[in-house]
């Protein structure tokens, strides 16, 4: 992951220890989206399908007046042919932040690689990985900056 700064919110090795955010223009948007996601997680808890969290996060973003697009198709070119839905971004927030929703046992490096690919193709410098399959949502958050 050359050229990427990976920033966790609570995962620095000490229980409950907060990690300061790197200064970035998308910090206010990130804060709002994280607040919306925490609200969804408070109501639903862990263990549901990604699609459930995505649908509920859509509703919460609407309620909070946060501009977003969901299920954004990124075309892929393969051997000279454009594939319409080569990639699908879960959320594009205010055209500056990509959010990838997961509901997995553990975030893996492939999840970060997926988000970084979306960020590069969409030319967005900030992304959030959100794993809802955790007891407290901040434990499932990872922030990526290009």
Domain limits of the chain?
5-9+25-145
Residue 106 pairs with which residues in a beta bridge? none
Distances from the Cα of 118 to the Cα of 15, 20, 31, 89, 126, angstroms = 31, 25, 20, 7, 10
Residue 90 burial by CB count (10 A; 0-12/13-18/19+): exposed, middle or buried?
A: buried
pLDDT tens profile 61-88: 999 999 999 999 988 888 999 887 789 9
For residue 1, the model assigns a pLDDT of 36
Task: Give every CB contact of residue 105 below 8 A, 6+ residues apart in sequence.
Answer: 133
Q: Is the pLDDT of residue 4 over 70?
A: no
């Amino acid at each position: 992951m050359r050229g990427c700064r990976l920033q966790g919110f609570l995962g620095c090795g000490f229980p409950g220890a907060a990690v300061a955010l790197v200064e970035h223009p998308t910090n206010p948007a990130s804060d709002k989206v994280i607040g919306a996601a925490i609200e969804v997680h408070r109501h639903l808890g862990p263990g549901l399908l990604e699609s459930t969290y995505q649908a509920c996060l859509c509703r919460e973003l609407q309620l909070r007046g946060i501009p977003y697009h969901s299920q954004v198709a990124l075309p892929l070119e393969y051997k000279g042919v454009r594939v319409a839905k080569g990639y699908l971004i879960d959320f594009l927030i205010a055209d500056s932040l990509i959010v990838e929703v997961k509901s997995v046992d553990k975030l893996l490096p492939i999840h970060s690689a997926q988000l970084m690919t979306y960020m590069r193709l969409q030319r967005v410098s900030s992304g959030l990985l959100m794993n809802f399959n955790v007891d407290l949502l901040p434990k499932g958050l990872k922030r990526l900056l290009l």
